Amino acid sequence: MTNDVFHKNELLDRESLHTLQGVRLKNVVFQASKSRFYRDQLFRAGVRIADINSVEDIRKLPFTTKDDLRNHYPDGMLAMPVDKMNRMHASSGTTGSPTCVFYTKNDLQTWADLMARCMYGVGVRPEDVFQNMSGYGLFTGGLGIHYGAERLGCCTIPAGAGNSKRQIKLLHDFHVSVIHIIPSYALHLATVFESMGMDPKSLDLRIAIIGAEPHSEAVRRRIEDLYAIKAYNSYGLSEMNGPGVAFECPEQNGMHIWEDAYVAEILDPETLEPVPEGEIGELVLTTLTREGMPLIRYRTKDLTRFLPGDCPCGRTHRRLDRILGRADDMIILKGVNIYPMQIERVLMSIPEVGQNYLIVLERDGFLDQMRIKVEVKEEFFVEDMRVLKNMQQSIARRLRDEILITPRVELVERNSLPRTQGKAKRVEDRRQES
């Protein structure tokens, strides 16, 4: 691995990594203290720069929330004058009004390096033709991945989101070998291929980077089978630059979180204390290299855990398990806690189930109900009511085994459920409507 995109830090022994984190943490706290927000926060918490001498000292530092970013909109979080900034992005606003993130020239460079590192690590090379199918504009999945791919040296096609027929034409005509695509869209795009009488397996595609939204292992396998490619999970959030925060390696077993650029903690969302080793909690992240807008102990609300043990690939950076969802995605129904990902895992492992589904929560009298609308693959969508009824009951049973309540299952035709551009909306809560 001699390419300059492969970074020596990827193999740094734990002790050196630890030391590096300590040094960078002190720097970043110093840098952050130049912002109005952190000057006040650190003062209130009674923390001085001199108190931060190793990465363990992170526990002395106060937390940062999405509301803090909103309350200090537009530039209260900046550690440098706005004229030193080189770019601005905003989060997609999936869970409320958007928040802005600013980058200096250096920040953009380190971000592109991290992103290139991720892609190189799964076998993307300068000879590859890369098509980015995520939305450009304020969303970091566009330009963030784009500059990573260019940094690596790929011929990069900024296709953007949507317009499936054109996506397919570009994939085909330019012999695209690597794509970045949102998993729910990858499933949908396969149905478009099908309706055009084309087989996505016949493309020159080898690798897909999939991320930006929670998805199950079953969805990854479907994408790999539909396209005959390898698909790698990519995690990021605009507050931490965007994509390139944690990424799978060829082992496809957990995402290495780049600990030379971020400190990751997994905490109990109630007590804000670390969860026992290997247990699920809220991921809390601190930037270690950002100068324009450093963030300390940012509460992502994303639920995951550290995977135990070393990765056979040799990278020393710890691995995060697949993101289960955001803390606020949890469905509470009849006293049972359910994550949409549990439902997806069951649905996507049933061969008759097509590429889209929707969870609807509704109120029936005084009772909360869950209705799951499930698209059925064309070849299984038959006229025979008895066959459909059996399929419906068998899906409901399998769901009950996983989530402990029996949902109403409604079978619908291929491509009949609503689709959003960008991140899929899996749950529709109508309980307050009646």
Note the residues at the interface with Zn ion (CB under 5 A).
Answer: 249, 251, 311, 313, 315
Q: In what order do the strands lie in the sheet with 298-304?
A: 262-267, 281-287, 298-304, 325-326
Distance CA 138, CA 239 (A): 12
DSSP letter at 424?
Answer: -
Closest CA to 296 of 108, 91, 52: 52
Distance CA 325, CA 328 (A): 8
Strand partners, 364: 367
Contact between 150 and K ion by CB under 5 A: the answer reads no
CB nearer ligand ADP, residue 102 or residue 139: 139
Q: Which does 311 bind (CB under 5 to 8 A by kind): K ion, Zn ion, ligand ADP, none?
A: Zn ion
C-alpha span between 434 and 428 (Å, rounded): 14
Taking the complex as a whole, the smallest distance from the CB of residue 255 to K ion amounts, in Å, to 26
Stretch that binds K ion, among 154-162, 347-355, 375-383, 414-422 (CB under 5 A): 154-162
- Give the interface segment with ligand ADP, choosing from 76-84, 171-179, 230-238, 289-297 (CB under 6 A): 230-238
Residue list 48-107, contact with ligand ADP (CB under 6 A): 91-95
Nearest approach in angstroms of CB 327 to ligand ADP is 10
Select from Zn ion, K ion, ligand ADP, none the partner in contact with residue 235, using the beta carbon and a kind-dependent cut-off of 5 to 8 Å. ligand ADP
Of 8, 4, 1, whose CA–CA distance to 316 is shortest?
8
- Residues 49 and 340: their CA atoms lie apart, in Å, by 42
Q: How far is the CB of 18 from ligand ADP (least distance, A)?
A: 26
Show the site string, 241-280: x = touches ligand ADP by CB under 6 A, - = not: ----------------------------------------
Q: Which is nearer to ligand ADP, 31 or 233 (CB)?
A: 233
Nearest to 208 by CA among 188, 234, 190: 234
Query: Of ligand ADP, K ion, Zn ion, none, which one does residue 361 interact with (CB within 5 to 8 Å by kind)?
Result: none
Contact with ligand ADP (CB under 6 A): which of 265, 291, 302, 375? Answer: 302
The binder of 155, among Zn ion, ligand ADP, K ion, none, by C-beta within 5 to 8 A per type, is: K ion
- Residue 100 bridge partners (DSSP): 90
Which helix (H) or strand (E) segment holds residue 18: the answer is helix 14-32
Size of the site for ligand ADP (CB under 6 A): 21
What does R_g of the chain's alpha carbons equal in angstroms? 22
Shortest Å, Cβ 154 to K ion: 6
What letter would DSSP give residue 321? -
Using CB under 5 A, which of 11, 80, 88, 155 touches K ion?
155
Smallest gap from Cβ 385 to ligand ADP, in A, equals: 38
Q: In the complex, what is the shortest distance from the CB of residue 121 to ligand ADP, in angstroms, rounded to a whole number? A: 15
| CB of 236 vs K ion, minimal distance in Å | 24
Site string for ligand ADP, 127-166 (x = CB under 6 A): ------------xx--------------------------
Binding mask 309-348 for ligand ADP (x = CB under 6 A): --------------x--x----------------------
Exposure of 353 by Cβ count < 10 A (0-12 exposed, 13-18 middle, 19+ buried)? Answer: buried
Distance of closest approach, residue 408 Cβ to K ion, in angstroms: 52
Of 7, 59, 71, the closest CA to residue 29 belongs to 59
Q: Quick one: which H or E segment has residue 234?
A: strand 230-237
User: How many degrees, rounded to 5, is the angle at CA 374 between CA 368 and CA 380?
Assistant: 145
H/E stretch holding 147:
helix 140-152
Residue 5 has φ and ψ, to the nearest 5°, of -75, -30
Site for K ion in 253-292 (CB under 5 A): none
194-213 binders of ligand ADP (CB under 6 A)? 211-213
Does residue 126 bind K ion (CB under 5 A)?
A: yes
Q: How far apart are CA 173 and CA 4, in angstroms?
A: 30
315 binds, among ligand ADP, Zn ion, K ion, none (CB under 5 to 8 A by kind): Zn ion
Q: Are 185 and 350 in contact (CB under 8 A)?
A: no
* Rounded Cα gap, residues 377 and 192, in angstroms: 13
Residue 360 as a binder of K ion (CB under 5 A): the answer is: no
Whole-number minimum distance, CB 258 to Zn ion, in Å? Answer: 12
- Give the phi and the psi of residue 233 in degrees, each rounded to 5: -75, 135
Q: Angle 105-121/140-152 helices, nearest 10 degrees?
A: 70
The footprint of K ion (CB under 5 A) covers 126, 153, 155
Binding site for ligand ADP (CB under 6 A): 91-95, 139-140, 211-214, 233-238, 300, 302, 323, 326
